[in-house]
Structure 1
Amino acid sequence: MERMRDLLRNTLSKSLRTLSETDRLAAAWPVVAGSAIAAHSQVTAFEEGTVILYVDDPAWRPQLEAMCGRLVGDLKKVAGVSVTGLRFVSGQERPRYTQK
């Protein structure tokens, strides 16, 4: 299973190179976070090395914060973007990601 995940990460990483940094991070997020977490969160922006993630339920926040180091490292590797941190936001209205 781990070998398949590595293969998927490497393939995704190669195909993401033509996208903007934010688009690469958004595409990489489900692979890095896993389907359960990705179902409750999404990349909304990338500002000065920090990935802004919308979390639909604040209950997910402690788990994501505990995984922050691994998530940052995996996002760097898969998306090929210089990520320095994650910031989590939540609220009733889900923000929409728009391309610039």
Structure 2
Amino acid sequence: MERMRDVLRNTLGKSLRTLSETDRLAAAWPVVAGSAIASHSQVTAYEEGTVILQVDDPAWRPQLEAMCGRLVGDLKKVAGVSVTGLRFVSGQERPRYTQK
């Protein structure tokens, strides 16, 4: 039997297909991260496989970095977007875009 969270993830993923990649990731973030983490962070951009997350307090960064592998995998699954990594910026920083 599927857990309710898995059912919600699959349903959300199907309903997001008409949105832009950034919007799909932003909509999927609260489901993937959970309400506690999502209340302190948000997707602000997506560039070449990297999701840029704004974190309201730098104290959240170590916890998010420790969960990075799971978060990347879940974002790929739920949002249906090719995610290769996460980059965290503090609430006061503006996301910096790097040339690759």
Query: TM-score under structure 2 normalisation?
Result: 0.90
How many angstroms apart in 1 are the aligned matches of 2:38 and 2:97? 15
Deviation track 1:3-41 (CA, whole Å, cap 9, x = no partner) reads: 000000000000000000000000000000000000000
Identity between Structure 1 and Structure 2 (%): 95
- The alpha carbon displacement at 1:92 in A equals 3.2
Say whether the 8 Å CA contact 2:89–2:95 is kept in structure 1. Answer: no
Name the CA shift for 1:99/1:81 in 2 (closer, same or farther; >3 Å). Answer: farther
How many angstroms apart in 2 are the aligned matches of 1:26 and 1:90? 17
Structure (1/2) with the larger helix percentage: 1
4+ runs deviating over 3 angstroms: 91-100
How many angstroms apart in 2 are the aligned matches of 1:23 and 1:97? 18
The gaps in structure 1 that reach 5 residues or longer are none
Instruction: Give the alignment's Cα RMSD to 1 decimal.
Output: 4.0
Query: TM-score under structure 1 normalisation?
Result: 0.90
Name the CA shift for 1:85/1:97 in 2 (closer, same or farther; >3 Å). Answer: closer
Q: The residue matched to 2:82 in structure 1 has which SS?
A: coil
Name the CA shift for 1:85/1:99 in 2 (closer, same or farther; >3 Å). Answer: closer
